[in-house]
Amino acid sequence: MRIHADRRTTARAAALCAALLLAGTAVPATATAAAPAAGTSVSTADGTRQFDGRGTLVSAERLYRLAGPKEVAAELTSAGFDARTARYGVDAYRLVYRTVDAQGRPTTASGLLVLPRGADGRLRPVSFAHGTGVHKSDAPSMQRRDFLTGPPVTYASAGFAAVAPDYLGMGTGPGPHPWMDVPSETTASLDMLRAARAFAPRTGHTLDREVAVTGFSQGASAALGLARALQAGEDHWFRLGALAPVSGAYDFGGTELRALLDGRLETKSSVVYAAYTLVAFNRLHPVYSSPGQVFRAPYAKTVEALFDGAHTGRQLMEGTPDTLDELLTPYGRRILEKPTGGMAAALRTTDSVCTDWAPRVPTRLYLARGDEQAAVENTAVCRAALRRQGVAAPVVDLGAVDYEGSRHLGSNVAATADIVRWLLTLR
């Protein structure tokens, strides 16, 4: 989760969620493409044709340039990331592209593409899916020198093409974000890869077919969704090459919600997760008919608005109580403890990321000991599910890592350094 809920100081928590919009330098006109209407046929670099407009590039904007590895190292170090694999400078672009929303209707989304400067023309893509944010600017293409951009800059500076979707409703995308909706995370991530492939030749690069897929927290489930789609051949060009999710809530409806409700996880982040679960899932499934069914007064009148993409992390922290008992009605707690109806239906999809397929590529699962936001038992459940399908996925225990007082956030920083070194050995 992007929100570090250290209750010793709300300001510190909000600092990790603050909206820091990036003023970019526009790419020359040749780097911006007029988008065909959804449903049209689009030619791709290899001569194949893609229908329905998904992945069509709408616009591209260069956000920043780090001329060489020294500049990259300084940026990564200031963000708290390991800079020892930096070999290249990087160019970072915001791409806006066509995709579909959670109901399959045409929409647009944005994401961050970071390319190494001076690397060979053909690049292996790494898709990185970020953790939870609440404001639209809590997305990779909207920030810099930050927890969100550390991973893609790390991968690009090591020689990969780093592709980081903002998700639906985040970044420049319209509407609210369908949090933990794996199908729409998958389509947004796949279409971001397609947009990156369309744009890359304008920088003198092409993208290889094999994609290394990784993601943190919410992004771990998103990464598994994308990996499953790539392996199933849902794109004519891209194929799954490696998989490395980090600190995911893979058994969200079982392991994660139980740990959230019984007090094993950090209290304030549990309040935020519970609220976000009910609000976001209710937007796509019939979970409750009115906020007062699941939220106590006075929060029943205010909680839904906190997740509209326009409220900051600080506002979320200040607008929610410190305990679940203050937030949830008996029915609200019960629907999380024993999901039925729309909640159960939503969770069946969310909880299938490790159970209904078997990756046939090098796969690792990452966790941090003592994670206060994603129960480590989630990883054990995922590993066991993969093992039943014949996949021996090693678990990399990162130990008691820390970032701004959070083991959960620390796992993203530590895993990024380990994953990039691992991927370099697979080339």
Do 226 and 371 lie in a common domain? yes
Identify whether 4 is part of a domain: no
Please identify, among 322, 349, 376, the residue that sits at the C-terminal boundary of a domain.
349
Tokens for 13? 């928590």
Q: Are 182 and 350 in contact (CB under 8 A)?
A: yes
pLDDT at 3 (0 to 100):
52
Do 205 and 247 lie in a common domain? yes
Tokens for 177? 């974000």
Do 265 and 227 lie in a common domain? no
Residue 152 has what DSSP assignment?
A: H
Kind and range of the H or E run holding 244? strand 239-246
Q: Alpha-carbon distance 359 to 248, whole Å?
A: 17
Residue 37 has what DSSP assignment?
A: P
Residues contacting residue 137 through CB under 8 Å, at least 6 positions apart: 19, 20, 21, 143, 171
* pTM of model > 0.75: yes
DSSP 310-326: SS-HHHHHHTS-SSHHH
Tokens for 135? 């404001």
Q: Give the amino acid at 68.
A: G
Q: Are 36 and 42 in contact (CB under 8 A)?
A: yes
Total number of domains in the chain: 2
Residues contacting residue 384 through CB under 8 Å, at least 6 positions apart: none
Please identify, among 301, 331, 349, the residue that sits at the C-terminal boundary of a domain.
349
Do 333 and 360 lie in a common domain? no
pLDDT tens track, the chain, 427 positions: 555 433 333 333 433 333 222 223 333 333 333 333 333 334 444 444 444 799 999 999 999 999 999 999 999 999 999 999 999 999 999 999 999 999 999 999 999 999 999 998 899 999 999 999 999 999 999 998 889 999 999 999 999 999 999 999 999 999 999 999 999 999 999 999 999 999 999 999 999 999 999 999 999 999 999 999 999 999 999 999 999 999 999 999 999 999 999 999 999 999 999 999 999 999 999 999 999 999 999 999 999 999 999 999 999 999 999 999 999 999 999 999 999 999 999 999 999 999 999 999 999 999 999 999 999 999 999 999 999 999 999 999 999 999 999 999 999 999 999 999 999 999 7
Cis peptide bond N-terminal to 298, omega within 30:
yes
Identify whether 208 is part of a domain: yes
Do 40 and 98 lie in a common domain? yes
Q: Alpha-carbon distance 239 to 158, whole Å?
A: 21
Do 404 and 292 lie in a common domain? no
Do 62 and 187 lie in a common domain? yes
Return the residue matching tokens 């046939």. 360
The residues facing 94 across adjacent strands are 61, 112
Residues contacting residue 28 through CB under 8 Å, at least 6 positions apart: none
Do 406 and 336 lie in a common domain? no
Query: Which CATH number fits the domain that encloses residue 389?
Result: 3.40.50.1820
Residue 133's Cβ-count burial label (10 Å; 0-12, 13-18, 19+) is buried
Residue 224 domain boundaries: 10-251+351-426
Burial 17-53 (b: 16+ CB within 10 A, else e): bebeebeeeebeeebbbebeebeeebeeeeeeebebb
Tokens for 311? 């409220």
Residues contacting residue 232 through CB under 8 Å, at least 6 positions apart: 357
pLDDT at 145 (0 to 100):
85
Do 243 and 191 lie in a common domain? yes
Query: Which CATH number fits the domain that encloses residue 280?
Result: 1.10.260.160
Identify whether 2 is part of a domain: no
Identify whether 159 is part of a domain: yes
Do 89 and 195 lie in a common domain? yes
Do 205 and 70 lie in a common domain? yes
Identify whether 3 is part of a domain: no
Do 141 and 214 lie in a common domain? yes
